[in-house]
Chains A and B, each alone.
Chain A
Amino acid sequence: MSNHKLQLAFEIIARENSRMLTAYLRTLVDDESVVDELFQESMIVAWRRLDKCDLSRPFGPWLRGIARRLVLAHYRKRKALPIFLSETLLTHVDQQFESMATRPGDTWDEKVAAIRECIAALSTSHRAAIKGRYFDEMRTLELATRLGISFEACKKRLVRARAILAECLTRKGVLVPWEARL
Chain B
Amino acid sequence: MSGENHERDSLSEWLDAGRCVQSEQYKCSGEMEHTADALVVHGLLRDMSRHDDAVQERRITQLLSRIEQHKVIQVTSQTISHSNRHRTGQAGHRFGSGYKALACGAGVAACLLVGFFLTLPSTLSAAKALERIIQSVAQSVDRAYEIHVLEEYQQRRKPENLTEQQWLAESKENVDGAMLYVGGTNRHVFVRSSTDGGQMKSGCDGTESWAFRDDGPIRVSEDLTQFLGKIPGQQQSIAFTDLYSQLTSLRDDYNIELSEPTDRENRIARFVGYRKSREMGGPKLIEIFFDRDDGMIHRMVLDGLPRGHGGPKKVEFVLVSQESLDDRFYSHAFHYDGERKEKRKEAQP
Contacts and interface: CB of A to CB of B under 8 A. Distances in A.
A36 B1 CA distance: 35
Contacts of A23: 43-44, 47
29 contacts: A3-B71, A15-B60, A18-B56, A19-B56, A22-B51, A26-B47, A27-B44, A28-B39, A28-B43, A41-B186, A43-B63, A45-B186, A45-B206, A47-B70, A48-B70, A66-B207, A69-B207, A83-B22, A84-B10, A84-B21, A84-B35, A86-B32, A87-B349, A140-B16, A140-B17, A163-B4, A163-B37, A165-B45, A166-B3
Interface in B7-29: 7-8, 10-12, 14-18, 20-26, 28
A163 B56 CA distance: 29
B62 A159 contact: no
Nearest to A163: B3
A151 B26 CA distance: 22
Contact of A178 (B11, B34, B39): B34
Interface string B42-66: 1111111111000010011011101
B36 A93 contact: yes
A88 B28 contact: yes
Contacts of B245: 77-78
Nearest to B209: A73
A170 B34 CA distance: 11
Interface residues of B, number: 72
B108 interface: no
B254 to A, nearest CB: 15
A140 B21 CA distance: 17
A44 B16 contact: no
B40 A96 contact: yes
Given A24-B43, A76-B225, A115-B48, A82 B14 contact: yes
B238 interface: yes
B91 interface: no
B239 interface: yes
Nearest to B14: A82
B287 to A, nearest CB: 22
Given A73-B223, A163-B1, 19 more contacts: A3-B71, A23-B43, A26-B46, A30-B46, A32-B50, A43-B63, A44-B67, A44-B184, A66-B207, A77-B242, A82-B21, A84-B26, A86-B28, A92-B33, A92-B37, A93-B36, A155-B16, A159-B12, A166-B34
B11 to A, nearest CB: 6
A163 B8 CA distance: 11
B224 interface: yes
A167 B22 contact: no
A109 to B, nearest CB: 8
Interface in A1-54: 3, 7, 10-11, 14-15, 18-19, 22-24, 26-28, 30, 32, 36-37, 39-41, 43-45, 47-49, 52
A112 interface: yes
B222 A69 contact: yes
Contacts of B223: 69, 72-73, 76
Nearest to B22: A83
Contact of B32 (A24, A88, A140): A88
A164 interface: yes
A23 B43 CA distance: 6
Contacts of A11: 60, 64
B67 A7 contact: yes
Nearest to B208: A69
B59 A39 contact: yes
Contact of B42 (A15, A27, A81): A27
Contacts of A32: 50
B11 A84 contact: yes
B150 interface: no
Contacts of B16: 133, 140, 154-155, 158-159
Report which residue of B45, B48, B50 has the largest number of chain A beta carbons within 10 angstroms of its beta carbon. Answer: B45
A121 interface: no
Contacts of B71: 3, 7
B38 A163 contact: yes
A135 to B, nearest CB: 5
